[in-house]
Chains A and B, each alone.
Chain A
Amino acid sequence: MKNQQADAVEMQSIYKYFDNFCALNAVNLKVRRGSIHALLGENGAGKTTLMNILYGLYRPDGGKILINGEPVEMKNPNVAIEHKIGMVHQHFKLVENFTVVQNIILGQEVVKAGCVLDLARARKQVMDLSKTYGLAVDPDAKIEDISVGMQQRVEILKALYRGVEILILDEPTAVLTPQEINELVNIMHNLTEDGKTIIIITHKLKEIKKSSEYCTIIRRGKYIDTVVVKSVSEQQLASMMVGREVSLVVAKAKADPGDIIFRIDNLTVEDNRKIERVKELSLYVKRGEIVGIAGIDGNGQKELVEAITCLTKVKAGKISINGAELQNTSPHYVVENGIATIHEDRQKRGLVLDFPVKYNLILENYNKPQFAGRSILKEPAIHQFAEDSIRRYDIRPEDCASEPARALSGGNQQKVIIARELSENPELLLAFQPTRGLDVGAIEFIHSALIKHRDSGHSILLISFELDEIMNVSDRICVLYDGRIVAEFLQGEVDENEIGLLMAGGERKNGI
């Protein structure tokens, strides 16, 4: 019998050390049953670590966990699953070459005759769930072929399929569009009305305001406070989390664009399954200009980026920078021509996770004379460069140069990539979701880094699902829908609602 008064989750004075680095220092967390509880903290504060402990993936080095008032020893995820705890991880845990259905049922398969998979029935269960909660997925697609947004939905379905009572969402909205976020918030409210409890990690203060009742703040592994969300402002939350005042909107001067340096003409790109994802798309970027591409995930962004970076073949059309044609050449050629790229999936495309941070920082420049002479790496120079980058981009912990990139928190991994990509002063920076999963302090930092890059006479093509980001940073905004640019505006010419409408396939305007 459940104790009706007890909190769904209570974590008391949790400690966690990685070697002798203290990731959690006496952190407390109390979550009321049926509530939505936000966990807020900077990149590397220890949020994911705390939740991994709750889910039984890490063993704490001290402290107690109570579920519904009963002490529980979370030895492994099985114990958590038994207590109906589900977790959607910040970095998805999906088997890439399995289908959506296979991923959802893995470990709790629908079978007949003891062990034979009943995929038809499984598929139906999944589709029922997907319909009930409005989480659209393609059940038979392989994970490697679907967008990050859909992968996210698969992860949520995975938890719902297991009948969770306590759902942990580690940055679930980092990759969702504004509309999808609203839907998710609705889903979360439906779930809590059902009596379920949700712990949500997010850096987006707006969402916390919209969705959560309580918010616990941790900073650098220490418990700061738990507040009732209604009674504090976004600004207050931000300062509590960072420990200083932060500005939520970037300041920037008006753009002063020069000549066109980068252009795409009538580009058509197909995906793995031979479906056209980019359709006769044309656009250009001028020197000293930030062009933002707004659009809902899955409208061709991934293929556009892969075409520009030569990771995929172009079916038709031209891509050129300073007159040099890039389509169907090689990624190396693209880099050589002054294009740097921040990829959407930092773990897959951005980093070699098992390499130390310092090698990750020179992945593109390892053969430049300052880092290698006659093919021999110059270790001291590399180390020095790493230390400088770490300081300049505030990558934490400060002494991580020789640590594997894997050991950094998600946000800090992203900073490593940005440090690397900006280090060569690229003519054009292709930034695809550059602030995915970053805290407000870090976003402020990266946005001002982008603007500084622009002000030094370089160009940026920003592709983001984050409408706020596009609106704040871009000088010119293109709206991408179904593989085409359907509208184009200068900053300030348009409001969020109008773009939101166009992103969803609304009427075509100022078409090009």
Chain B
Amino acid sequence: MLISILLAVSITLMYAAPLMFAGLGGVISENAGVVNIGIEGMMTIGAFCGAAVGYFSGNPWWGFAAGGLSGGLLALVHAVASISFRADQTISGVAINFIGPGLALFLSRKLFAGSAMTKPVEHPIPTIFGSYAAKSSNLLIKAANIEMTVPIVFICALVLWFVLYKTSWGLRIRSVGENPAAADTLGINVYKIKYVAVFVSGVLSGFGGATMTLAVMNYFTQSTISGQGFIALAAVIFGKWKPHGTMAACLLFGFAQALVVLLGGSNSKIQIPSSLLSMLPYVLTLVSLVLFVRHSTAPKADGIPYVKGH
């Protein structure tokens, strides 16, 4: 019993980790007043770069870093369009969602002999107990042997929470998302803060994508990222734009994905068609948004381009 609970927890965490990275990304950009629909695209490019660099370098951490960087660079495109040129943030984000997968496919065909998927990464992200778990006969340790990305994302969440609520940077970021005109009159560089927030948002989303290809699977295909970015966005709203709330929401959605695996297993007692089961995370997202998000309030200036002097 204990073992199956532990197993359910670690599968939940495994699926939740990419969502959590991306969700944290959403939190920081929306707190600075930039709606980031493009998370999905940033995750996709991060997932591809993670797998490709992980494959060629043989080191998953290089892959992980590359995933973050590529997500950050793609986010800068969103920043230029929506902050400097005041493009509609939703449209710009949608464009990012086309660019991300398109670029990933293009690069994949270039680098992997015309294949739309990367070769499997030899060394994925290590687990917390590493080779010790493989040798050990303790089933508890085997069940609890989660990937390093899980503790990393929790640390990221803690750091983000601390930065947003306990530091002067956080105060400034939130003021820009709430009332940029007020921040501006106090000499705060509104545009700079928005740029940094969007870049960090991209890096975190890229990490989320790389977690998918380096910890959950070990290669990249066109369907590796299929809606996780949007689920993460829903988690941001569900989590009331706060890091801790978003983490909790991601865990819930991760649990839904874990259920798909657990209930879909061949030895499970109840047989549910797998196609119905795999709808579960998406249905749960919709239902939770409809039921619980009524009282959620976004940062006041979220999604509104800031124009000086208005």
The residues of A that contact B183 with a CB separation of less than 8 Å are 95, 106-107
Verify if B109 is at the interface (C-beta below 8 Å from A): no
A77/B171 in contact, CB under 8 A: no
The residues of B that contact A89 with a CB separation of less than 8 Å are 185
Q: What is A's interface to B at a CB cutoff of 8 Å?
A: 52, 55, 57-58, 76-78, 81, 87, 89, 93-98, 102-103, 105-109, 111, 115-117, 158, 406
A96/B178 in contact, CB under 8 A: yes
16 additional A-B pairs beyond A106-B188, A109-B171, beta carbons within 8 Å, are: A57-B184, A57-B308, A76-B187, A81-B187, A93-B179, A94-B182, A95-B179, A96-B179, A97-B300, A102-B171, A106-B172, A106-B186, A107-B186, A107-B187, A117-B166, A117-B170
- The CA of A124 and the CA of B226, in the complex, are separated in Å by 51
The residues of B that contact A106 with a CB separation of less than 8 Å are 171-172, 175, 182-183, 186, 188
- The CA of A89 and the CA of B169, in the complex, are separated in Å by 24
The residues of B that contact A108 with a CB separation of less than 8 Å are 186
- The CA of A94 and the CA of B178, in the complex, are separated in Å by 9
The residues of B that contact A406 with a CB separation of less than 8 Å are 310
**Can you list 17 A-B contacts with CB-CB less than 8 angstroms, sorted by A residue number?**
A52-B309, A77-B185, A81-B187, A93-B186, A95-B174, A95-B178, A98-B178, A105-B171, A106-B171, A106-B175, A106-B186, A107-B188, A108-B186, A111-B168, A115-B167, A115-B168, A117-B170
Q: What is B's interface to A at a CB cutoff of 8 Å?
A: 166-172, 174-175, 178-179, 181-188, 300, 308-310
Residue of chain B at shortest CB distance from A93? B182
Residue of chain B at shortest CB distance from A52? B309
- The CA of A95 and the CA of B170, in the complex, are separated in Å by 14
A58/B171 in contact, CB under 8 A: no
B166/A95 in contact, CB under 8 A: no
Task: Name the distance in Å between B13's Cβ and chain A's nearest Cβ.
Answer: 30
The residues of B that contact A95 with a CB separation of less than 8 Å are 174-175, 178-179, 182-183
- The CA of A116 and the CA of B167, in the complex, are separated in Å by 4
Task: Name the distance in Å between B12's Cβ and chain A's nearest Cβ.
Answer: 33
Residue of chain A at shortest CB distance from B188? A107
**Looking at the complex, which one of A93, A103, A107, A116 makes contact with B172 (CB distance below 8 Å)?**
A107
A96/B300 in contact, CB under 8 A: yes
- The CA of A168 and the CA of B251, in the complex, are separated in Å by 51
Query: What secondary structure prevails in chain A residues at the interface with B?
Result: loop
Task: Name the distance in Å between A317's Cβ and chain B's nearest Cβ.
Answer: 27
B172/A97 in contact, CB under 8 A: no
Residue of chain B at shortest CB distance from A57? B309
Residue of chain A at shortest CB distance from B179? A95
- The CA of A77 and the CA of B188, in the complex, are separated in Å by 9
The residues of A that contact B187 with a CB separation of less than 8 Å are 76-78, 81, 107
The residues of A that contact B166 with a CB separation of less than 8 Å are 116-117
A55/B185 in contact, CB under 8 A: yes
B181/A93 in contact, CB under 8 A: yes
Residue of chain B at shortest CB distance from A111? B168
- The CA of A253 and the CA of B175, in the complex, are separated in Å by 51
Residue among A52, A57, A106 with max Cβ neighbours from chain B (10 Å): A106
The residues of A that contact B171 with a CB separation of less than 8 Å are 98, 102, 105-106, 109, 117
Residue of chain B at shortest CB distance from A89? B185
Task: Name the distance in Å between A154's Cβ and chain B's nearest Cβ.
Answer: 11
- The CA of A30 and the CA of B122, in the complex, are separated in Å by 75
The residues of A that contact B308 with a CB separation of less than 8 Å are 57
Given A93-B179, A106-B175, does the pair A117, B186 have CB atoms closer than 8 Å? no
Residue of chain A at shortest CB distance from B178? A95
Residue of chain A at shortest CB distance from B187? A78
**Looking at the complex, which one of A93, A105, A115 makes contact with B185 (CB distance below 8 Å)?**
A93
The residues of A that contact B181 with a CB separation of less than 8 Å are 93
Residue among A81, A116, A158 with max Cβ neighbours from chain B (10 Å): A116
**Looking at the complex, which one of A97, A98, A105, A117 makes contact with B167 (CB distance below 8 Å)?**
A117
The residues of A that contact B310 with a CB separation of less than 8 Å are 406
Residue of chain A at shortest CB distance from B163? A115
- The CA of A111 and the CA of B171, in the complex, are separated in Å by 12
Given A115-B168, A117-B166, does the pair A94, B179 have CB atoms closer than 8 Å? yes
Residue of chain A at shortest CB distance from B185? A93
- The CA of A384 and the CA of B185, in the complex, are separated in Å by 38
Residue among B168, B169, B172 with max Cβ neighbours from chain A (10 Å): B168
The residues of B that contact A87 with a CB separation of less than 8 Å are 185
The residues of B that contact A93 with a CB separation of less than 8 Å are 179, 181-182, 185-186
